[in-house]
Structure 1
């Protein structure tokens, strides 16, 4: 298998460097090809994803992404070299570019109890529509103003001082996400699929979701289904995480729940993720680039190591993937080689070497 490796920036390169030896240690025959992505390339060229990286992704089977820095539009442009300012360069996060260009509509975030094994479920977040679809407006044109003008706050503020964000949900997007969720539940031997939304408030769009869920559930009689308010799901993820199997949610709700899931399992330093579509994929830890921590050897490499195990599972190397996960569990439970975020004093390299030693 040919795997693109994009170390990124911030702590990305150091966690990637520490984690990659795991691949050879478990005998995975992957051909690693390295490419560039991230903030330095925005600063030098005004594009955080160089053309050469897109060509690399075209000729490889999947991708491991380290971490990348993303900043709001105003700050991003202000840090460009003077020669690139005023040229209408718009910073678009590389992860958004990858998801859109490669059609990666499903974000899969495993949530497992590494310490005691009490729970093991996944949050599957829709990546392409919902409240993150990009229909976000301030200063409303007439069609949007007609929709909201009778709201008392809008009437008081006027069109120029009102904002609207549209939640896009389509049959095509919903159906492919739900089917992905059901198939994932079958593959992981889960018997419950929970659709997290807000049916008591977002009545029309949530009812549409529910109707599609009911139709598709008929194809999977062995999977129980439910649709719950997203706030209730958040509560039960904390109090009774063992009740869940697969949680499916639209983009923003899934974003929030998946980070909550990382907290439930012990922190972002243990959280891996997959971004999957019908014809492409990339895998990344979800802890972010943390540029203030870069080159201090403090970053936790376990999320990157678990990301490698998730990629191995995706590519059909289930035995090797489970060996990696067991090694991480052993290191965490032993507690003698943990980085600061897990209450230890070990360096990035020391924590990774502890996993290698177990393997």
Structure 2
């Protein structure tokens, strides 16, 4: 039997996960779910945002569904540790990044679909492990980094202790696998165009490597149109003519920005789902954060989590059930009578989810 590790997390995470889980029963897949802890509460209690028991659960499950995670800056994070752990050098690290790295989940898949009509339907694929978010971010530079940037006018004026450098990591192996993922997803989804969104006219060395590998992988897929475009131009076109895209693939930071822009084009983060795939297992999460300002009020939009469950169904071999979930959410959004305040309605989290279950029959 397929087993899903369910990690509700923080803030509105438990609310939207509780509302969305009945979808699995409504479509009749018969999967088992096991709950685990993750996030800020674990950090405050034991100084680990992912307890060892949760890692064990994730390792034995077929996939992981996560609600939302709270993150705070280092000073605030340490201040909320138990007294006996403060001053011990513990540093809060993003559980999502830890999960992606440990499980090798190098691709973040973000569907961008017009739920109010049928004008656009495309996918943003964000590379998860490299790019500007790879973690090579330094303040107070050693000799090697200072030799690279020390002659910049700003660095000369500021000195090495007040100069910071972030490095964009691009590797052939990392690029090849994310581009293969993009073209494979295009073929599987019936898309005829893959666009690499980058900035090769400015980031000349790393951008040229990306473009070379993109062209090489594109040559393996002559049936798909391949196009490289500046990321700022892609952003503008996403707003003006989103129907012109099929699959957009980008490095970590550019993909992060474009996928959130796509959520805005859809109608908001309350409609945005995501999947992290590519290694051992898979991780599914709504794109929105933990939203502590509305946590506990029962007004969080559950549709992003429900669509995430739908995406999980497709990834785990239940495409018909996935299509039913997407259709039910689309009907609920278009009807508009039972939607949460972020979509202009007055419904509660529970009532909005129940409306989708009702439409599933």
1:151 offset after TM fit, Å? Answer: 1.3
The whole-number CA distance in structure 2 between the counterparts of 1:266 and 1:27 is: 29
**Residues 153-193 of structure 1, C-alpha deviation per residue, up to 9 Å, x if partnerless?**
11121212111000000011101100011101110010100
What is the distance in 1 between the residues matched to 2:162 and 2:15?
45
Asked if structure 1 preserves the Cα contact closer than 8 Å seen for 2:8 and 2:38, the reply is yes
1:136 and 2:137 are equivalent in the alignment = yes
**Aligned residue number for residue 351 of structure 1:** 352
The answer to whether the 8 A contact 2:133-2:168 is kept is: yes
Say which SS state the counterpart of residue 274 (structure 2) adopts. strand
* Ranges in structure 2 where 5+ consecutive residues have no aligned partner: none
In structure 2, the partner of 1:36 is: 37
RMSD: 0.7
What is the CA–CA distance in structure 1 between the aligned matches of 2:279 and 2:174, rounded to whole Å? Answer: 12
Shift of 1:67: 0.7
CA distance in 2 between counterparts of 1:58 and 1:32 reads: 14
Partners of 1:357 and 1:294 in 2: CA distance: 25
**How far did 1:279 drift?**
2.1
Q: Which residue of 2 aligns with 1:101?
A: 102
Q: CA deviation at 1:78?
A: 1.2
Summarize the alignment of residues 157-172 of structure 1 with structure 2, pairs less than 5 Å apart.
157-172=158-173
4+ residue segments displaced more than 3 Å: none
- Alignment check: 8 A CA contact 2:103 2:279 kept: no
Q: Pairwise mapping of residues 59-98 of structure 1 onto structure 2 (< 5 A)? A: 59-98=60-99
Deviation at 1:203, TM superposition (A): 1.0
Matches within 5 A, 1:1-359: 1-359=2-360
Q: Which segments of 5 or more consecutive residues in structure 1 lack a partner in the other structure?
A: none
CA contact (8 A) 2:179 2:249 kept: yes
CA deviation after TM superposition for structure 1 residue 278, in Å: 2.8
TM-score, length-normalised on structure 2? 0.98
Q: Deviations over 1:57-78 (max 9, x none)?
A: 1111001101111111111111
Q: 1:114-166 CA distances to partner (integer Å, 9 max, x unpaired)?
A: 00110000110000011011110111111101101121111121212111000
TM-score, normalised by the number of residues in structure 1: 0.99
Give the match's secondary structure for 1:247: strand
